[in-house]
Structures are given as C-alpha cells and as structure tokens.
Structure 1
Amino acid sequence: MTDLKSINIKQNAHITECMCCGICCKKGGPSFHREDKHLIEEGIILTKYLFTIRKGELAYDNVRHELLPLSSDLIKIKGKSNSKICIFFNESEKKCEIYNNRPTECKALKCWDTREIEKIYSKNRLTRKDLLFEIGGLWELVKDHQARCSYEKIKKILQKQDRNENEIQKEIRQIIRYDTQIRHLVVKKGGMDSKILDFLFGQPLAVTLKSFAYFSGNSSSTKSSISSMGSSISSKTSDMDSSPGSSKGSSSDSTMGSSTGSNSSGG
C-alpha cells in the first residue's frame, strides 16, 4: 500500500474527492483483507497478479513509518515491470482497470484524509491459509515450506552465538537451496504457472535474505556470503523468474477456484 505519509495532503481544504492523479496507485498496490477474499476465490483478481510478504519478513509499515517484521502474511498486488506501480493502474488513461472490484484498502484510501485507511490498515489481513486451507495437498506444501524457510528460523540461525560463520552459512545455504528447488519442482513436475510462485511461497529467499541479513545485525562477511549464496543458487534455476511483476512462465490464468486447485494434486 502507498506510504500514507508521502501523500497525506489533508491540510488542503479544497480537496474533498479523488482527482484521479494516480499518485497512490504509482506508490504501490494494496494489501488484502478478509473482506477481499471473494475477489480472489471468484477469479476476479488472479493469483498470478499477487505476491506474499511472509510472516517474519521485514516490511515497511505505512502507518508507523518504520521497517518491522510482519506478524502474519501480507498479500499484495504486484507492481508492473518490476516497479511499484500497481499492475492494474492504466497510466495513459489514469484509471484503475478493476475499479468496480477494487480491494478494501483502495476504497478506504483518501489522500486528503487518511483516517479511514489508518483505522483498517493492520486489521483482518488476508493470509494464504484463508485461501488455501481447503485445497487438498497445496496448503500442506505451502505450510511445509513456511516451516522450513521461516524468517524466525533464519533469524535464530543468524544470531547463534555458539556457531562459527561456516556452520551458519551452511545452514542458510540449505534453506535457500530448498526454497529454490521447491519452486522449480512445482513448475516442472507439478505443472504450476510460475507466475503464482510469489503468492504461494513469497518472494525467493535468494532475493529477500540480502536485506534480511543486513538488518539482523550480522558481520559483514556473513552478509556478503549470504548475498553470494543466493546469487549462486538462484542462477542454477535462471529459467524461472518469480519476482513480483514477472512476465515469464505459463500464460494460464491461475485463480483460486480453478488452475491453482487442480495444480495442487500434481505438486
């Protein structure tokens, strides 16, 4: 969601309605709340347009204006062309392509008065479990990945005082390798659309651990090693691009009610 501090212009008494300037849409897509669940389940917003910031991952809190570890999943709309611009924002016409079915945060956000969005911002956030729990096999796979690759687990490894750096790096390398391989397998063996990987498993650890290790207070050599580990392991599966906004992968439209569910049986 947009950084509220950067667009709050409620001091301007002349602004009382949206001017369709697109500033909020250009600063990042919204996060989903439980009230938005039907938009995904009914295929109105496809999972290939979403990505998950996982529990424990560092994320910028737009209300408190600081970087904090998440207490639960944060499911968001991807940006276009690896930018923050919401993938559903039509820049040339300055309009939302899903306006009539826009998520709760978009409805609540008023740049001239952010009180409503601040009130709902951290409440009733939609999680992957809310969407996947009843899809046999798939939720178990996602839950297992979360347990093996949780940021809480990684943080404990990075902060171990009784281990040398080689042992720490070995454990982290194993976790990054699993995260990379499971993404490769569900596409190659399970037939899943690679565009939904960031929704199912969050962004690749090979990418996110670079900043996570930095903010975990580790030595410069450990940070450097983790960065090089991620690059080395991810390069072995360079045929897969699972970053938010990616245009690679299958062209199938993966919705919760159709291809995501069917793919789970093959995964």
Structure 2
Amino acid sequence: MEEPFEIILPDGTVYKPRKESVVQGYDSDGKPKKMKFSVKTECERCGECCRRDTPVILKEDIELFKKGIITEKEIYTIREGEKIRSFIDGDTYYSSMELIKLRPIFGSSTCIFYDPHEGCSIYEMRPTVCREFECWSQNIAITGLESRRLTRDDLFGSIDIIREAINKHEEKCSLNKFNDIVEEFVSGKEENFEKIVEMILYDTAIRNWAKEKLEIQDDVLPLLFGRSLMEIATLYRVLIEKEGENFIIKVMEEAEE
C-alpha cells in the first residue's frame, strides 16, 4: 500500500513513517530534536466517514440482505440525474447513474447504523464500500462502481408488477426532465408551472397506488421510487405546497453566506 506521505530531513534523508514513530527533526535554530507522531494505516472506528455520508450498496452486499443485516427499509435510491453532494469535496453534482445507498438518520448525513457512543452497529458485517474506503490514503474512489453497484432491477427485476411500476415512474418523472423544467421555472419560465404540477401528481399517485394495491410500506417507497419530487424540488430553492386541490410553488431566496 502506498504510504500517505514522506518526510525529507535537512540532511536530505527521505523518511517514510509507519504507524507510531520517532524521528530526528530540527527546531528553528537548527538544533536537533525528536518528534513523535502516529500515522493512520487502518480503520480506527472514529466514525468520521459514518457521519459525513452513507455508503453505496454493491452487488457484493446482497448477502447482507439474505442474512437480515440490512433490510429494504434501511436503503433508498438515488436516481439518475438526482442532485447530490459529494462527501469527498463537498461539491454538488448530478448523479450519472442510479445508486442504492444506506439511509441517513433523518435530518442529517449520518449513517442509520452509526451510534455516537457505540460506533457502527454492523461493523463486522458492514457494506463493501465501508470496508474498501481508506480515509488515511488517497484510495477514496470506488473502483468499478458502474458495474458493481446494486440496482433496483437486481432487487425487483423478477417481480413484473414492481419492475413495470418503476419503469413507468422513470418515464413520467424522469429527473433529467424534472431538473430542466424546474431550473427554467426558477429562471422565470412561469409556463412550466403546469408541467411541474403534472409530474408531482403522477409521482404522488404512483406512491399511493403502491401503498394501496401492493401494500408497500411508506419507508420502502424511497427505495422503489427514490425521493419524492416535492422533496427534490427544495434542492432548487423551490418550495411546493398543496392546499386542498391546488398547488403553490414558491422560489426561495438564496441564503446569504
């Protein structure tokens, strides 16, 4: 494994530290002094990554479902085109592919399996991404994500009625299309109001249908259909409220930094 860093001493010696070490250094007057430091080389269960984001679930993790470690209630779908924030650099971008992730604790970015006192409650059986992630090195990317990622088709592809519902929802409520319509509306294209409402009505209707006809529980709907369009709209500073049979769409002002 590549060392995180190296120290070049004043005499030109290159020192590559391993774990806890003591090296000869020099103070500002050029006098020798010893410096003790430690280098992280493995997971110390500090919980930093658990609090920053939740992991993507891969095909290799299917065994966790079979063993009941993870259930359908504890995962949700990031749909293609969804606006998300990278926990690595904090930048916002649109997801180029469908991803299934562990759910965060409501109102935070912290993983649902993380306890502030006990740490990860499924540490010994944690998802592959958690095992592969090395916060102490530059190995922070998930290799082969597109082919390794778990998808809704992997979970529900053999159940015709659910697969068809998911496909129909993607057709009617495509996030790539929704993104364009909402951004144009925010920019002043008021005629997009009806298009937004039409998509929200379908998004709401298919969720209600799944609950009533298929007896799907509320906490499984984010896995089947992703986050609701009303929730996603807030990422564009658009607040959508329903009063009786009418919708009210408000564009919120940008928060001052």
TM value normalised by structure 2: 0.71
Describe how 1:30-69 pairs up with structure 2 within 5 A.
30-40=55-65, 43-63=68-88, 65-69=90-94
Compared with structure 1, are the counterparts of its residues 156 and 79 closer, same or farther at alpha carbon in structure 2 (3 Å cutoff)?
Answer: closer
Q: CA deviation at 1:31?
A: 0.8
Report percent identity of matched pairs.
32
- Gaps (5+ residues) in structure 1? 1-9, 215-222, 237-267
Compared with structure 1, are the counterparts of its residues 234 and 47 closer, same or farther at alpha carbon in structure 2 (3 Å cutoff)?
Answer: farther
More strand by percentage? 2
Of the three residues 76, 84, 89, the one matched with 2:101 is 76
More helix by percentage? 1
Matched position secondary structure for 1:19: coil
Distance 2:244 2:135 in 1: 40
User: What does residue 242 of structure 2 align with?
Assistant: 232
User: For residues 142-196 of structure 1, what are the alpha-carbon distances to aligned partners after superposition, in whole Å with 9 as ceiling and x for unaligned?
Assistant: 11111111112223434679xx844311011010111122222222333111110
Matched position secondary structure for 2:177: helix
Compared with structure 1, are the counterparts of its residues 122 and 135 closer, same or farther at alpha carbon in structure 2 (3 Å cutoff)?
Answer: same
Compared with structure 1, are the counterparts of its residues 235 and 88 closer, same or farther at alpha carbon in structure 2 (3 Å cutoff)?
Answer: farther
User: For residues 122-151 of structure 1, what are the alpha-carbon distances to aligned partners after superposition, in whole Å with 9 as ceiling and x for unaligned?
Assistant: 442222122211122111101111111111
Which structure is higher in RCO with an 8 Å CA cutoff and minimum separation 6?
1
Matched position secondary structure for 1:76: strand
Q: Which amino acid aligns with 1:206?
A: M
User: What does residue 219 of structure 1 align with?
Assistant: none
User: What does residue 144 of structure 1 align with?
Assistant: 168
Tell whether the 8 Å contact from 1:36 to 1:104 is kept in structure 2 after alignment. Answer: yes
User: What does residue 253 of structure 1 align with?
Assistant: none
| Structure 2 residue 141 is the aligned partner of structure 1 residue 118 | yes
Q: Which amino acid aligns with 1:69?
A: Y
Distance 2:196 2:170 in 1: 15
User: What does residue 115 of structure 2 align with?
Assistant: 90
Q: Which amino acid aligns with 2:61?
A: D
| Structure 2 residue 30 is the aligned partner of structure 1 residue 20 | no
Compared with structure 1, are the counterparts of its residues 61 and 174 closer, same or farther at alpha carbon in structure 2 (3 Å cutoff)?
Answer: same
Distance 1:186 1:210 in 2: 24
Distance 2:56 2:154 in 1: 14
TM value normalised by structure 1: 0.69
Matched position secondary structure for 2:85: strand
User: What does residue 104 of structure 1 align with?
Assistant: 128
Tell whether the 8 Å contact from 1:206 to 1:233 is kept in structure 2 after alignment. Answer: no
Q: CA deviation at 1:121?
A: 7.3
Report the structure number with the largest CA radius of gyration.
Answer: 2
Matched position secondary structure for 1:137: helix
Compared with structure 1, are the counterparts of its residues 119 and 194 closer, same or farther at alpha carbon in structure 2 (3 Å cutoff)?
Answer: closer
